[in-house]
Structure 1
Amino acid sequence: MRRKLLIRFYLFLMVTAFCLIPLQFFVHSQTPTSQPIVYYIPVEQAVERGLEAFMKRSIEAAIEEGADHIVLEIDTPGGAVDAAGNIARLLRETDIPITAYVVKDAISAGAYIALNADQIVMAPGSLMGSASVIDAAGNAAEEKMQSYWIAEMEESAKLNGRDPLYARAMADNTVDLPEFNAEKGRILTLLSGDALEVGYADALASNRAELLEFLQLENAIEKDMEISFAEQVARFVTHPVVIPILLSIGSLGLVLELYSPGFGVPGIMGISALLLFFFGHLFAGFAGLESVILFGAGIVLILIEIFVPGFGIFGVLGIGSIIGSMILASYSTVNILISLLIAVIITTIVSILIFKYFGYRGPMKKIVFTGATTTEEGYISNVTRNELIGQVGEAITPLRPSGMALFGNDRLDVVSEGGYIEQGKEVEVVYTSGSRIVVREAKKQSQREE
């Protein structure tokens, strides 16, 4: 009883969380004031699609609030190229003046985002650069991608009259800039002072007060956009590294639930992981409710295939629906397919190990027959009658090549070695295997005595 109440409470919490998703799109009312408004938007941690969704919401909020200036407080090690590109597009399409304030590090995609702002202000000791493209394994990306990224860096620098040479040097290690410790073979990372010298920083500011003084907005109303808890969760679960982990936990948890009696921890873990996947992608704006509905339909189809005898069509449709729902929910088809492949491999290996060492338990025990037709339970198997070998009997039916022969008082089904044997002929047993008794026509008595 207690377990059922806990499960119901858990499901209630998950449903409530999904119902609260629309609340992220709250309405901002413009503040009636004669003072200028400055919006601070944090650009922190890895650059990924969750950050992109947060940036979009923040800029929309600043516009609705009637902000006069947007400040991006940047401290990021970089991240996904596609997410950085979409964020840069947001910045370019925004009419409100935008200042990139590098409070610590604007590395890789962070440097690219900063270059797309109208102006750049850096804190003393901060860094900007090191923007080469690497793949998921940490190796340099293919030449085609490198060429695209270098062109994007140069174009972003040109937007606000900056020398594209330094932007290129941040992504291309063939550019020789020994005066900035970036000779050939090393990519460029600018210190705040160096950035100011080459025009990649318009000013240095130790804090917000100095920043506002440079912007001539000392009397401005300052407003901070904060990442909500739900957005933090969404940013975490939409990370390319986290997605295959979630899918692996989800599939493995559901498989383990088939091996455990009742509904317990494995099932809760599996459902929670999959709900987190969809929650994060729904909240980040990558998926719609149609993907969740399609996933639920896939689960139902698989359950029908398991408990109702069929020809596999429900199972195939169910698996297809689940894969389709995840592709719809994901922002990258390639990424989700790789994640699904990883999850399938992990789940298969663990399932084989569990079956080997623990056997079938729980619902799986009801699905898979594990009994045996043993003699102790009343089943009789065919026994090979080796004692018949060499015995001579009489064919009481023609053998073509099978028929019946009489051995003493036993009427037995026999088969000849291949030839035809007439009825009434003597036959000799030459081989037995289970119910199969092979005979040949017997030699005459005088020949046997010789």
Structure 2
Amino acid sequence: MRAQDSPHRASPRAPLLQWWAKRLLLVFVLLWPGAIAVAAAPDTTAPGTVVLLDVQGAIGPATTGYLQHGFERARQENARAIVLRIDTPGGLATSMRDIIRLMLASPIPIIAYVAPSGAQAASAGTYLLYASHLAAMAPGTNTGAATPVNMGGSGEGVPAGDPKARRERNKPQGDAKEPPEQAPEANAMTRKAVNDAVAFIRSLADMHGRNADWAEDAVRNAASIPDREALERKVIEVVASDLDDLLAQADGRSVKLQGKDVRLETRGATIVSVEADWRTRFLAIITNPNIAYILMLLGIYGIIFELMSPGAIFPGVLGAVALVVGLFALNLLPINYAGIGLVLLGIGLMAAEALTPSVGLLGIGGVAVFALGSLFMFDGDIPGFQLSLPVVAAAAAASGILLAVVLASVVRAHRRQVVTGADRLIGARGIVLAWSQSGGQVRIHGERWRARSDEPLAPGSPIQVTGRDGLTLIVRAAPPDAH
């Protein structure tokens, strides 16, 4: 009898289906890593990011540190471009050149943008504008006045009161190929500084195809122009009302980046603003000439007070910290060491007045020398790096008063009659507390002393000190009038 077919018997197609299932599983396993990589890869069509850095106020060491950090952040973000939003009256030439070296070495295009309306890129800011790969200005801004200022000299390429110089400065230059006539400089050092600055800014202009003749005029004659004229004279490439307008106009432009033509892709990019960290903010505070000057004075006075009153500790510690921070800040600033020498001399004269009174002559001379040296410490016209006259006046007055009062008090304390110590024990009178044979205990000035004597003494009898042997007093019976 034939057995009936089971309903669960495998279909003839089962082996074929299993074969295809294995092949599909193998293909899926092989393609899975590639699918993950494709999904994780960045979209090359995305607008990307643009890093925004603000250059505001006087350009100094803190600005250099901030921009160095910002450029590094832009490299980490793989930014499409860096925008330097500039509003500065100028600053230190050393810091400016450090920043320009960073800009020229940057692998990311840098757009210099003088903004917002009413801002300026004067002096050192003009050099930054010329060093950028793309230069732009907002409506209502200006740039120029790039004449270098020498410490200890006038620093002017043309005397301010020279009518011919004013006419030459205000005369339209157009596209003249001949550079503006150079007026006589005040001295050889000024000519050297101006010629060096001219060569530098012309090299930046040639590098980016900008108006080199106007750049030289800005250095030699302190010429300055507004945004529209800057665009017409090919000092800049773009006039943009805001950041979005700037990125839209910059998109698709070709710039020279490290000798190669690079096309900007900035339209619709995400703007990432980089703020200064606490170190940069702290450096910006202490490199303010007024703050550095006050820190130096606090340090000097704190150490002087500690030396005059040993053991106070706090004035010495505070003074040492303030002096170190102040000297660090002064090391970063263009100072005149002759001015610092005069400040120290003035403090010394005021101290001498307190120690050796001279009817005020040394004190008055010290205050005058102190104030003169303070003015010479920062004796240039560099914007943002000038010592305030009210600060100098207040410091001179405070120095005279503090040194006169405090040092006079110290002198009076030194001249006061001695009331304790070995010298005051000789001749002092006291009472015998306990006595045995040639020695015992006595009380002098409220203190208990060991004593000896060549004559017998009784407890409670008055004694007088005639000498001292280490910690043992030599006494005798006090004369009758000692009662």
Determine if the TM-score, normalized by the shorter chain, exceeds 0.5.
Answer: yes
What letter corresponds to residue 109 of structure 1 in structure 2?
A
Name the structure 2 match of 1:69.
Answer: 81
Is contact 1:84-1:113 (8 Å) kept?
yes
Name the structure 2 match of 1:118.
Answer: 133
What letter corresponds to residue 111 of structure 1 in structure 2?
T
Name the structure 2 match of 1:145.
Answer: 193
Structure number with greater Rg is 2
Name the structure 2 match of 1:98.
Answer: 110
Q: Say which of 242, 252, 263 aligns to 1:207.
A: 242
Name the structure 2 match of 1:57.
Answer: 69
Deviation at 1:66, TM superposition (A): 1.1
C-alpha distance in 2 between matches for 1:336 and 1:233: 23
Q: Say which of 203, 210, 235 aligns to 1:162.
A: 210
C-alpha distance in 2 between matches for 1:250 and 1:232: 22
- Identify unmatched segments of 5+ residues in structure 1: 1-30, 174-186, 282-325, 380-450
Is it true that 1:348 corresponds to 2:357 in the alignment? no
Over 3 Å counting, the alpha-carbon distance change for 1:233 and 1:352 in structure 2 is farther
Name the structure 2 match of 1:256.
Answer: 305
Is it true that 1:129 corresponds to 2:144 in the alignment? yes
Deviation at 1:257, TM superposition (A): 3.5
Secondary structure at the counterpart of residue 148 of structure 2: coil
Is contact 1:255-1:351 (8 Å) kept?
no
What letter corresponds to residue 149 of structure 2 in structure 1?
I
C-alpha distance in 2 between matches for 1:36 and 1:354: 69
Deviation at 1:63, TM superposition (A): 1.0
Is contact 1:247-1:343 (8 Å) kept?
no
C-alpha distance in 2 between matches for 1:83 and 1:361: 45
Q: Map 1:276-287; keep pairs closer than 5 Å.
A: 276-277=325-326
Q: Map 1:247-326; keep pairs closer than 5 Å.
A: 247-259=296-308, 263=312, 266-267=315-316, 269-277=318-326
Secondary structure at the counterpart of residue 135 of structure 1: coil
C-alpha distance in 1 between matches for 2:92 and 2:104: 19
Q: TM-score, normalised by structure 1?
A: 0.56
Deviation at 1:86, TM superposition (A): 1.2
Deviation at 1:372, TM superposition (A): 7.6
- Identify unmatched segments of 5+ residues in structure 2: 1-40, 157-189, 252-265, 358-403, 427-483
Deviation at 1:89, TM superposition (A): 1.0
Deviation at 1:99, TM superposition (A): 0.4
What letter corresponds to residue 213 of structure 2 in structure 1?
L
Report which structure shows greater RCO (CA 8 Å, sep ≥6): 2
Deviation at 1:135, TM superposition (A): 2.9
Deviation at 1:238, TM superposition (A): 2.5
Q: Say which of 181, 187, 194 aligns to 2:229.
A: 194
C-alpha distance in 2 between matches for 1:222 and 1:255: 53
Name the structure 2 match of 1:221.
Answer: 270
What letter corresponds to residue 123 of structure 1 in structure 2?
A
What letter corresponds to residue 50 of structure 1 in structure 2?
A
What letter corresponds to residue 117 of structure 1 in structure 2?
S
Is contact 1:256-1:351 (8 Å) kept?
no
C-alpha distance in 1 between matches for 2:195 and 2:345: 35
Q: Say which of 106, 117, 122 aligns to 1:107.
A: 122
Over 3 Å counting, the alpha-carbon distance change for 1:336 and 1:271 in structure 2 is farther
Deviation at 1:353, TM superposition (A): 4.8
C-alpha distance in 2 between matches for 1:87 and 1:260: 47
Over 3 Å counting, the alpha-carbon distance change for 1:71 and 1:244 in structure 2 is same
Is contact 1:245-1:343 (8 Å) kept?
no
Deviation at 1:261, TM superposition (A): 7.5
Deviates more, 1:197-206 or 1:244-253: 244-253
Is contact 1:36-1:68 (8 Å) kept?
yes
What letter corresponds to residue 227 of structure 1 in structure 2?
A
Is contact 1:69-1:96 (8 Å) kept?
yes
Is contact 1:249-1:273 (8 Å) kept?
yes
Over 3 Å counting, the alpha-carbon distance change for 1:128 and 1:352 in structure 2 is same
C-alpha distance in 1 between matches for 2:424 and 2:312: 33
Over 3 Å counting, the alpha-carbon distance change for 1:353 and 1:52 in structure 2 is farther
Aligned pairs, how many? 284
Is contact 1:74-1:101 (8 Å) kept?
yes
C-alpha distance in 2 between matches for 1:277 and 1:97: 37
What letter corresponds to residue 97 of structure 1 in structure 2?
P
Is contact 1:240-1:335 (8 Å) kept?
no
Secondary structure at the counterpart of residue 72 of structure 2: helix
Deviation at 1:230, TM superposition (A): 3.0
Secondary structure at the counterpart of residue 99 of structure 1: strand
1:155-189 deviation line (CA, Å, top 9, x unaligned): 1111111121000010112xxxxxxxxxxxxx210
C-alpha distance in 1 between matches for 2:205 and 2:288: 28
C-alpha distance in 1 between matches for 2:291 and 2:406: 31
What letter corresponds to residue 351 of structure 2 in structure 1?
S
Alpha-carbon RMSD across the aligned residues, in angstroms, is 3.5
